[in-house]
Structure 1
Amino acid sequence: MPTSRWQRIKTTSVRGFHAYANWLVGISWLRFAVLSLLLLILSGVLQNLPPFSWSYTRVVHLPAETIEVPVPPLPPLPPPGPTASDPIGPRPATGASAPGSDGQPVIDIKLPPGASEAVREAVDEARRTIEAAVQEARQEAEAARREAQQQAKEARREAKRAAQEARRQVLREEVQLGESLPQLAFFWIVASLVIKITYRKQIQAEAQAAQAVETAEAESLKRQVVEARMAAMQAQVEPHFLFNTLASIDHLIEVDPQRASQMQKNLIALLRASMPTMRETGAEGSRPRDLGRELAVIRPYLEILKVRMEERLTTEIDVPDGLLSAEFPAMMVQTLVENAIKHGLEPKPEGGKLSLKAEVVHGKLTVTVADTGLGFGRAATAGTGVGLANIRERLQLLHGPKASLTITENPGGGTRVTLAVPYKPLEGA
């Protein structure tokens, strides 16, 4: 058979097997039991209908040596000499206790004393006659024995031929074409039962694997969407901040050149630190970063705002040097600081204080951003909460239940936002 034709047959068979297995898995056990019962009934009905009711004769010939034939035993030899029913039994001769030298029995007839010679001769004649009769009887018995043996052999041969003929008659039987239909139906049901059980497990395993892959892909896609949202939000915030900062620098150049120069230096530091952050966040998603790089963006940002807000803004950053190398998601602290300034301190006429603190609590890196502004959701510039929602979603995707975002009221007035993530020093930081 050509290879291409064999491949087509193989492919068709495999496709048919999978289609049948999927159909078996798709039906319920009750339906499977009902269909199995109907198949057994149908096989029993078809067994008696043409063409399954047609039959043919099958004859099996066995070799003769394989046939065991019971053979009657040979008749035993008659005992030597006269039997107990003989009128004259064997008698040992006078002075002798054994048969004669020729193996024949000795006939002993005792005569009374004084018997005549004629009587003795008559007795001897009678003895000889008896011995001759006994010898003749033995010869006849031997001939009868030989004849019986010959007849027994003939009977054995006849019995063997009869047994062979009878054996041939037994193995000559009629075979119906559909007599194996019930057995085939039962075998089909058992095979289908095995396929239904094993194939269901295989499909479940494949479904679980596919679901795991789909979940992983969905999580990755979701993470990318969240990071894209953060990058888009950052792109929206940066132009406003840059325009305001540049306008402030332009104004200070005329009024206070020294402050304008300081603001320009802070803006350069901010752009130098934030531009790589924005590119990495948009391109690599959840690439791990350290807390020190986040502070490198926040410090010049706050310095610029302090120049713009003057004495209305005071800041305090309390981050130990040992935590600067700790892994921390990008742009989260920056978003919290921007919200505190925009919705808490700027709307307040007298301004206030912004505090940033980092510490390790119960194995988690905790970063707290607190302000003494108007309070959460009380300012007229309160946003829609998209930034905080994005932070929560990113934390869930990155660390699951191990990370948290908590918003509470600051004891001195304003809002306190706490971020907690598993503490892990970043390698190579």
Structure 2
Amino acid sequence: MNAVPLNPTLMQRWQSFSKACVRGFHVYASWLVSISWKRFIVLSVLLLIGTNILQDLPPFTWRVTEHVDGPSMPKLPKLPKPASTAKLPAGMHYEVKIDKHGVRIVPVASPATPGASGVEPQPGVEIKLPESISSEDAKAAIEQAKDALEELAQQARAAQEAAEEVRDEARQALEEAGAVGSHTRTRVVHLGDFLVNLAVFIILGSGVIKVTYKGRIQAEVKAAQAEETAEAESLKRQVIEARMAAMQAQVEPHFLFNTLASIDHLIETDPPRASQMQRNLIALLRASMPTMREANAGGVRDLGREMSVIKPYLEILKVRMEERLQTEIDVPEGLMSAEFPPMMIQSLVENAIKHGLEPKAEGGSLKVKAEIVHGKLAVTVADTGLGFGRAATAGTGVGLANIRERLMLLYGSKGGITVTENQPSGTVVTITVPYRSREQGA
């Protein structure tokens, strides 16, 4: 059975509607988060009051008046029927006898009625009179009572007949009124009973949205801030690395040209020393080229690779400066695998030579030392030159600033650089980083 494809227009309308609903939800949720809980409670109370008022007003409640044709008669009460008089069997009648014993009312069978002897006996009434009353007086009183009872019975029958006549007249009048016209009836229609429940549902749902959406917004804000910070740190690191690369590009050609010139001079005057300088230059270039690439990538290397650059570099300088430069490298073999940022030691050595030892007529000594201090790796470059900022070739301090910024980006507050005066002269620069072995990290 082939599926019926949906109308593209309907799909587009549905997508537009869903996007509008989602957008509206986010707008409403953002507004809920922006208001305080106090204001939210006040608005909720006002919403409940408003719905209670609206549910009794149009269009949620209205009255409908209907016209009804035909009679609309109320049911008239039925009149009570007079109590029925007990009837005697056929051939029987009561006789009233008054004698000295009193008044007796007894049933008597008629002698002329056939079959009267087979009739069941009926109860009678016997009233005893006091001895002081004569039978004639009792008979007269009974006759008067009998006449009075008959008169009351006639009045009751007349009143019942009059009530029946009034009832018949009322029924006839109601029937005539119903046959001639129609009557109206009013009923109330309620459609707003759901408003209060809807308001409660909206309040509860809004409270849940306010709590959950606020946490989501805070998480999104934190994520955005973290992303901005990471981007800023990355950009800052790229700027610093670019500065270091620019400085290295300026230093390396100058150093390389001077070294090549020294080799050319030594080839004529002292070929063995020229050969030694050439071997050191080759070792320096072999070790420094990957260092430069990794420095531009912002990575770290082990301390041993850094020392492989520093040793031939100092050997070349010793050939050029001859007896004016004495060097010492004190790096234990166990620290050669420790992580250390590239090019930093080389920059410190270049600054010590250029601004401290070369300007000094008698030269001096330079020492590179590595040790563990309070659980951190400390690498020190100390010289006995003129001192920081005292030479005519003193730099601007940009190199030290770049090293400090790189350490902050790589290690935060756990890394740092200190500059102090050496005794009796010169400068001591120490770089401190967390001690981590690349062998352990691998």
1:32 corresponds to? 40
Task: Determine whether 1:254 maps to 2:254.
Answer: no
**1:366 & 1:215 partners in 2: Cα distance?**
29
* CA displacement 1:289-317 (0-9 Å, x = unmatched): 11111011111111111122111111011
Residues 47 and 53 of structure 1 are in contact (CA less than 8 Å); yes or no, is this contact kept in structure 2?
A: yes
Residue segments in structure 2 that go unaligned for 5+ positions in a row: 1-5, 66-117, 124-185
Return the letter of the residue paired with 1:229.
R
1:285 corresponds to? 298
Q: How does 1:238-277 map to 2 (within 5 A)?
A: 238-277=252-291
Return the letter of the residue paired with 1:18.
H
* CA displacement 1:251-271 (0-9 Å, x = unmatched): 333333332222222211111
Q: Alignment partner of 1:349: what SS? A: coil
Task: Determine whether 1:355 maps to 2:363.
Answer: no
Q: How does 1:29-428 map to 2 (within 5 A)?
A: 29-40=37-48, 42-43=50-51, 46-47=54-55, 49-55=57-63, 133=122, 174-282=188-296, 284-286=297-299, 288-427=300-439
Residues 364 and 422 of structure 1 are in contact (CA less than 8 Å); yes or no, is this contact kept in structure 2?
A: yes
* CA displacement 1:342-384 (0-9 Å, x = unmatched): 1111121111100011122232222111000111222222212
Task: State the shift of 1:45 in Å.
Answer: 5.3
Deviates more, 1:382-391 or 1:40-49: 40-49
Residues 356 and 369 of structure 1 are in contact (CA less than 8 Å); yes or no, is this contact kept in structure 2?
A: yes
The verdict on how the C-alpha distance between 1:56 and 1:178 changes in structure 2, with shifts beyond 3 A counting, is farther
Residues 61 and 189 of structure 2 are in contact (CA less than 8 Å); yes or no, is this contact kept in structure 1?
A: no
Residues 55 and 177 of structure 1 are in contact (CA less than 8 Å); yes or no, is this contact kept in structure 2?
A: no
**1:202 & 1:188 partners in 2: Cα distance?**
20
Return the letter of the residue paired with 1:285.
G
The share of aligned pairs that are identical, in percent, is: 72
Give the number of the structure whose alpha-carbon radius of gyration is greater.
2
Q: Alignment partner of 2:439: what SS? A: coil
* CA displacement 1:165-191 (0-9 Å, x = unmatched): xxxxxxx97333345434433432332
* CA displacement 1:190-217 (0-9 Å, x = unmatched): 3222211221111112222332333333
Task: State the shift of 1:46 in Å.
Answer: 4.3
Number of matched pairs: 320
Task: State the shift of 1:332 in Å.
Answer: 1.0
**2:242 & 2:268 partners in 1: Cα distance?**
40
| TM-score in terms of structure 2 length | 0.65
**2:37 & 2:397 partners in 1: Cα distance?**
52
1:95 corresponds to? none
2:156 corresponds to? none
**1:352 & 1:421 partners in 2: Cα distance?**
28
1:23 corresponds to? 31
**1:41 & 1:242 partners in 2: Cα distance?**
88
**2:44 & 2:198 partners in 1: Cα distance?**
12
Q: Alignment partner of 1:54: what SS? A: strand
**1:313 & 1:355 partners in 2: Cα distance?**
11
Give the root-mean-square deviation of aligned CA atoms: 2.9
| TM-score in terms of structure 1 length | 0.67
Task: State the shift of 1:341 in Å.
Answer: 0.9
